[in-house]
Amino acid sequence: MNKTHQLTVFDFFYRNALMNGLGCALFYNGETRSHSELFDDACRLTCGMAELNLAAGTRVAVVAKNCPAFFHLFASASALNLCLVLINRRLGEDELAHALDDTTPQVVIYDNEIKDKIGPLIQERTGIDHSFNLAEDFSSLYAPDPQGAIELAADSDPDLAYIIIHTAAVQGKPRGAVLSQASLILANLQLMHAYGLDNTKAYLNILPLFHIMGVNIGLGTLMAGGKNVIMEQFSPQDSIDLIREQNVSIFGSFPPILGRILDSIQSQDTPPDLPSLEIVAGLENPETAKQWETVTGSKFWIMYGQTETSGLITFSPIFEAPGSAGRVSPLVRMIVADDLDHALPPGNTGEILVKGPLVFNGYWNADDLNAFTFRNGWHHTGDMGQLDENGYLYFKGRKPEKELIKPGGENVFPAEVENALASHGAVDKACVFGVPDAEFGEAIKAVCTLNAGCTVEEKELIAYTGTLIAGFKKPKSIVFVDQLPLTAAGDIDRFAIKETYSHGQ
């Protein structure tokens, strides 16, 4: 690409320092940093990381709660052509080990609370040359002088791998979706346009910055010259206080965030006034969204997207087209297709196929999977939907081979849970699927058969899976049966099991 055509994440940090230097960029634990100060921090980290002599494309794994260091790393990785592996800190040890082994980072950065879990994994891997604890020695990476960072950033290539987030599970193991700066910048620019983000807006970082939507709105707000109000951990009352005190205008939400904030508001004798709040974006049932809008006066925006699409590709106010997941965004070409990838007329159900500059670079080290995912010139989302004549998408579930459960907005693939269940000595076979849940939107349910002569209690088996996979992936309930129905091909009939056991035993 001609360098005069390039635009990088680092460029937005630089632009804000020049044009909105005194404006507040970050608020964290009672302290603020202006855009000028944030750029200075980012430049010092860039110069310090340059001293590590990391080659372009080197992976830098980050396992941490939300904190300002994420934004410093977004800028320095952009400048130095490094690739940030954003790892869910709630994962179990085996899952963390998989993320490290899959992407082979040379640098690992982690927060103090997770050091006992991540520390031994780092020591076991000879390819990890540098590791930094955010509370102990990460500050040593910052050079005393920011001079030279702008020159280092001149070689930034926005089309290279910039972020890896593990998402799609293949053979029970998550695969890393590779995103470029170019795709993220465009994804965030369209959010800036849709949500009216500018240098007067403030975003409350409730969603983790290892989640694509947290990255989208967080970086999008920063790119617009606005303020990020960073929360380490969600608290309903703290959220209310920060919205009011920091004039928050937008935040992202997955169940049960909105419901818990509403409960806190309604438990108070004098409900707080939140005049600055304009938009909450995410997933929610219509009843809770309507109650939220009535109580706060802000609008709830529904959405659909994937890590593989650099974030959101449909969005609109939830009641603009009730039941939809929003309208197709300007930078996406989307069709609903049959099994031969032929576009279906409006109102028909098929797989959601996408093309355009927001589509990811592919899965890390997965050539066969990428060839299948990108066949016939489309990104095959694995999701089913309908489009109407006005471009609104109606989500209709997932294809069987890409079944996905989203408790509280987290991605859980049945194969991961089924493998954990089947590793118990008493379990013969397991089928896992999502069921409606009032608090988290979806809950995980399992139907299992046991080996001859074996018994195990439901609570015991649930607890056992929690020792192998992240807590949010554990089944909420398990049903034991004598046999599982099979298809004509001899496979477990997932549709029949869901039909029978989705609403009780």
Do residues 412 and 473 lie in contact, with contact meaning Cβ atoms separated by under 8 Å? Answer: yes
CA distance 327 to 399: 21
**E runs forming strands in 107-201:** 107-110, 130-133, 161-170, 173-180
Instruction: Using the CB atoms, write b or e for 279-294: b if 16+ within 10 Å.
Output: bbbbbbeeebbebbbe
Answer with the residue of higher pLDDT: 339 or 280.
280
Q: Average pLDDT in the 230-253 region?
A: 96
pLDDT of 271? 80
The pLDDT of residue 367 is above 80? yes
> In Å, what is the CA distance from 115 to each residue of 66, 127, 132?
16, 18, 10
pLDDT in tens, 375-411: 999 999 999 999 999 999 999 987 765 677 888 778 7
Binned at pLDDT 50, 70 and 90, residue 440 comes out as confident
pLDDT of 397? 84
Residues with Cβ within 8 Å of 267's Cβ and at least 6 positions away in sequence, in order, are none
The pLDDT of residue 168 is above 70? no
Q: Average pLDDT in the 404-428 region?
A: 86
Binned at pLDDT 50, 70 and 90, residue 505 comes out as very low
pLDDT of 239? 96
- Out of 46-55, 232-241, 417-426, 475-484, give the one with best mean pLDDT: 46-55
Using a pLDDT cut of 90, give the percent of the chain over it.
82
178: left (phi over 0), alpha (psi -120 to 50) or beta: beta
**Token duo for residue 37:** 């100060």
The DSSP secondary structure of 125-139, one letter per residue, reads -TT--EEEETTTTGG
Out of 30-34, 299-303, 490-494, pick the least confident: 490-494
| Chain centroid, CA 357 distance in Å | 19
| Chain centroid, CA 254 distance in Å | 11
The residue assigned the tokens 């372009």 is: 56
Q: pTM of the prediction?
A: 0.86
Nearest in space to 280 (alpha carbons), one of 318, 335, 237, 333? 318
Q: Average pLDDT in the 112-139 region?
A: 96
CA distance 158 to 311: 17
Binned at pLDDT 50, 70 and 90, residue 172 comes out as low
Pairing of strands 130-133, 59-63: unpaired
The pLDDT of residue 23 is above 90? yes
| Chain centroid, CA 325 distance in Å | 17
pLDDT in tens, 186-240: 999 999 999 999 999 999 999 999 999 999 999 999 999 999 999 988 999 999 9
Q: Would you say the C-alpha torsion 276, 278, 281, 283 has a positive or negative sign?
A: positive
pLDDT of 171? 58
pLDDT, averaged across the chain: 93
CA distance 359 to 380: 10
> In Å, what is the CA distance from 481 to each residue of 257, 389, 457?
35, 45, 13
In CATH, what number does 3-299 get? 3.40.50.12780
Instruction: Using the CB atoms, write b or e for 240-257: b if 16+ within 10 Å.
Output: bebbeebbbbbbbbbbbb
pLDDT in tens, 94-107: 999 999 999 999 99
**Order of all β-strands in the sheet with 393-398:** 333-337, 350-355, 379-387, 393-398
CA distance 205 to 217: 8
What are the extents of the domains in the chain?
Answer: 3-299, 407-501
Give me the residues paired with residue 266 across strands: none
> What topology is assigned to 407-501 in CATH?
GMP Synthetase; Chain A, domain 3 (3.30.300)
